[in-house]
Structure formats: structure tokens, C-alpha cells
Amino acid sequence: MFAALTLAAVTALTSLTAPVAAPARTGCGQYVALTFDDGPSYYRPRTLKVLRDKRVHATFFDNGVRVDANPRLPAFQVAEGHVQLSHTYLHPYLPELPAAAVVKEVRRTEEALASAGAPLTFKGVRPPYTVADPPTRATLTSLGYSIFAREDGEWIDATDWDPARTATEIRDAILAGLRPGALIGLHDGPIDTPAGAATVAAVPQIIDGARALGYCFGVVGADGRVMPDDYVPSARDIPLIGNPVPYLPLVYPGNAPGPHEFIRSPLRLEVGHFPAVFPAGGTGVFRVTLGSRGREGADGSVQAVSIELPAGLAPVKAAGQGWTCLGDRCTRNDVLAPHKAYPPIDFTVSVAPGVTGKLAATVNSQGHGGSWQSSEIEEVRVR
């Protein structure tokens, strides 16, 4: 089983050669479909090897930023007969984006896939976090897209994006929820967690278990239904990861696998403070400016800036022109031109009596549906 190969054995290969495949099953009345989000991931070559060995096609909802990083993988997926669909470019939470930004997300992914030689099988998109509110739906349908959100279709998931989940837990959760027409939602390398290895190990067990229960595997159609399918392998070797895999900041502890890089926000934080030394028992101010790094500004999506304070400092108020502030968090959603900056935010804090020494506050920014993130640490002396 390819999932059991050691990392050393995998990385020693230049490609994964085509095996002699077992015959496909025919005449089945109960079909289900495997789907994978967030690829092409570091683990995707292993997934493709398992699918080829088991003669099962999958539906891949891939992110354009990862397609651009490793375009040979989606090209292989299409050549092998898998269904290639979209999961947007940067994996943002779409309800926080204006319509123009939603359009840009799917158009950029279309362009990435076309450039990779892997055009969409049909216009289908699975919104990140499986959420599409009415305005998002209206935008996507106006572009001719079929939507595969949580409420669209007979989805089964096993929360496999959580790195604490084992292959056995993932397998059992999927098999327990099987029903005709089910779409099995998996992640063989989430864009914001270090998970993926357990999912790949679970896939052959899911396939064998489902077949033992009388199910066959098909592919997802534009109407959300599972269509019967026969797997005929291509003559191509399965490509390996050739470039670092892009990641958003991880929301679970651990390290991203293999060669990787973190997606850089086009906006940057600048943080200062005054007075130079905060007086114990008094107040001080952290001044925060969010601005463009260069050629790209803010697109009208929600931009949020927050501050995390150490023991000894407590929030008093936050204010900035054009910002809406509540507690230690400020937001706005207007467009920012390239090379420009928003008006600064002043976070006023109180200093506990008797505090001395050096303290550090962490300032975070988040925008474009969570896919633009930056952090800065500001140290201040207290006496």
C-alpha cells in the first residue's frame, strides 16, 4: 500500500509508475464519490497512487495558489480521468468578500488550471469552509457555477482536517455515514493545518470497506449527483511535488509537511508605541497602521486588526479614523489603493501598578476572508 511507504522511499522516486490495475466493478446500483479539497498538497501523489491502484476516480476541489505551485499534478489528474473542480484561489471565507473579489477568486483559479493544462471538468466550486451565503451564491451562479457547499448534496465528512484524527477514526466515520449518492469530503493536505497523512492512509480502507458494503465509486456531476464511472489508467507517471506547497497560517499545532511556504498577505502592519516607556499604574498607546506592501491594495473585503496583550497590560479603548472598534479589535471594509495605508489605530492600554521590565504585545491583521494574515510583535519597557 503506497500510504505505508516511508517518506524516504517516496522522495527517492522521480515519479510513480503505473501499476497493473485490477478490473473495475460493473453493474452496481449504489454509487458514492470520493472528493478531496485544498490540493494539490504534499500528500497528493500518494493519494493518486492509491486511487490508481484501486481504480477509483475522485473529484478534486483544488486551490489555485497550490495549482500554480505544482501544476503537473492537476495536469495528471485530468489526464487520468479525475474530475477537476475549483476550491477558489486563496481559500477565503467567501461571505466576507465583496462580489468582485469572489469573481476574482474563481477567475484566478480558472486561469491557474488552464495554464496547468487542467481545465475545469465543468464549472463547479466548493466554497471554502463549505459556506456560501445568498450573495455569494448569486455571484457564483451568475458565473455559471454549480455550487457544492454543505447543504448541496449528500455530504459525509470526518473532520479529517484535524491532525488529531487517526486513519481508523476517519475510515469509521465515513463508512458509518455511507448512503447511495453520498459525496465523501476529504482533505489530503488541508491548506491551514498539518493534517493529511492519516487521510491518505484511510483512503484505501474507505474504498475497501465501502465495496464490502456493496457500494461502487463514481464521480460527481454538475447536478451534484454521483455518476457511474470506469477507471482506465493513463500511460503517465504520477508526478511528485516539485515546489514548496503554499499554506495559510496553521490553525492547529504542528508543522506543515514537506517543502512548504506560507502565503504572504499583500497588506503589512507597522506598529509603534508612545510614550517610549510606559509608566506603571498609568497608560500607554500602541499605534498600528495597516497598509499595502506594493502593487496590491485591499479589495473591499473585511479587514480586521486586533491586539493581544501580555499580563500587566489591559485594553482601555481603541480608535482610528474609519475604523469600527470593539474592545481590542477594529474592522473596516473599504477599498485601499496600492502603495497606500489606512489611517492608524490607537490601542490605549492601562499598565498595572508595580509592573516593571519589558513586555510584548502581538498585533494581528486578517483580511480577504481570512486568507490575508499578518502579525507583528511590539516590545515596550515599563517602569
Mean pLDDT of 59-76: 99
Average pLDDT, the chain: 93
CATH code: domain of residue 273: 2.60.40.740
Which cell numbers hold the place of 87?
A: 476550491
Q: Do the domain assignments include residue 225? A: yes
In this prediction, residue 133 carries a pLDDT of: 96
pLDDT at 43 over 80: yes
**C-alpha distances in angstroms, 346 versus 264, 315, 343, 377?**
25, 11, 10, 15
15 in the same domain as 160: yes
In this prediction, residue 13 carries a pLDDT of: 30
- Residue 82 a catalytic site member: no
Confidence of residue 151 (pLDDT cuts 50, 70, 90): confident
Q: Do the domain assignments include residue 1? A: no
pLDDT digits (tens, 9 = 90+) for 314-348: 999 999 999 999 999 999 999 999 999 999 999 99
251 in the same domain as 282: no
One-letter identity of residue 240: L
340 in the same domain as 227: no
Domain finish residue from 227, 245, 260: 260
pLDDT at 12 over 70: no
194 in the same domain as 91: yes
Mean pLDDT of 137-141: 98
Strands 324-326 and 329-332: antiparallel
Domain finish residue from 210, 234, 260: 260
350 in the same domain as 202: no
Instruction: Return the residue matching grid coordinates 485591499.
Output: 298
Partners of residue 58 on adjacent β-strands: 34
pLDDT at 10 over 90: no
Q: How far apart are CA 375 and CA 85, in angstroms?
A: 32
Domain finish residue from 206, 229, 260: 260
Q: Please state the φ and ψ torsions of residue 118, each to the nearest 5 degrees.
A: -135, 65
State the Cα torsion 113-116-121-125 to the nearest 10°: -20
233 in the same domain as 348: no
Range of the domain at 313: 267-382
- Residue 187 a catalytic site member: yes
145 in the same domain as 51: yes
151 in the same domain as 74: yes
Helix locations, 55-166, DSSP H: 64-69, 72-79, 99-115, 134-142
Q: Do the domain assignments include residue 111? A: yes
Q: Do the domain assignments include residue 202? A: yes
In this prediction, residue 26 carries a pLDDT of: 55
Instruction: Return the residue matching grid coordinates 455571484.
Output: 139
Task: Estimate to the nearest angstrom the gap between the alpha carbon of 59 and the chain centroid.
Answer: 16
In this prediction, residue 19 carries a pLDDT of: 39
Confidence of residue 29 (pLDDT cuts 50, 70, 90): confident
Helix locations, the chain, DSSP H: 7-12, 44-54, 64-69, 72-79, 99-115, 134-142, 167-177, 197-212
Strands 124-125 and 146-147: parallel
pLDDT digits (tens, 9 = 90+) for 216-263: 999 999 999 999 999 999 999 999 999 999 999 999 999 999 999 999
Percent of the chain with pLDDT over 70: 93
93 in the same domain as 60: yes
Helix locations, 254-334, DSSP H: none
Question: Catalytic residue among 37, 38, 188, 192, which?
Answer: 37
In this prediction, residue 27 carries a pLDDT of: 63
Q: Do the domain assignments include residue 88? A: yes
Q: Do the domain assignments include residue 6? A: no
In this prediction, residue 70 carries a pLDDT of: 99
pLDDT digits (tens, 9 = 90+) for 242-254: 999 999 999 999 9
Q: Do the domain assignments include residue 368? A: yes
The total domain count for the chain is 2
171 in the same domain as 302: no
Q: Do the domain assignments include residue 4? A: no
In this prediction, residue 348 carries a pLDDT of: 99
Q: What is the pTM of this model?
A: 0.89
pLDDT at 9 over 60: no
- Report the residue count for the chain: 383
278 closest CA partner among 347, 343, 344, 375: 347
pLDDT digits (tens, 9 = 90+) for 72-131: 999 999 999 999 999 999 999 999 999 999 999 999 999 999 999 999 999 999 999 999
84 closest CA partner among 56, 51, 53, 118: 118
Which cell numbers hold the place of 307?
A: 491586539
Instruction: Return the residue matching grid coordinates 457564483.
Output: 140
Percent of the chain with pLDDT over 90: 91
33 in the same domain as 173: yes
Higher pLDDT, 14 or 140: 140
Please, what is the end-to-end C-alpha distance for the chain in angstroms? 63
CATH code: domain of residue 59: 3.20.20.370
Question: Catalytic residue among 82, 91, 187, 273, which?
Answer: 187
199 in the same domain as 86: yes
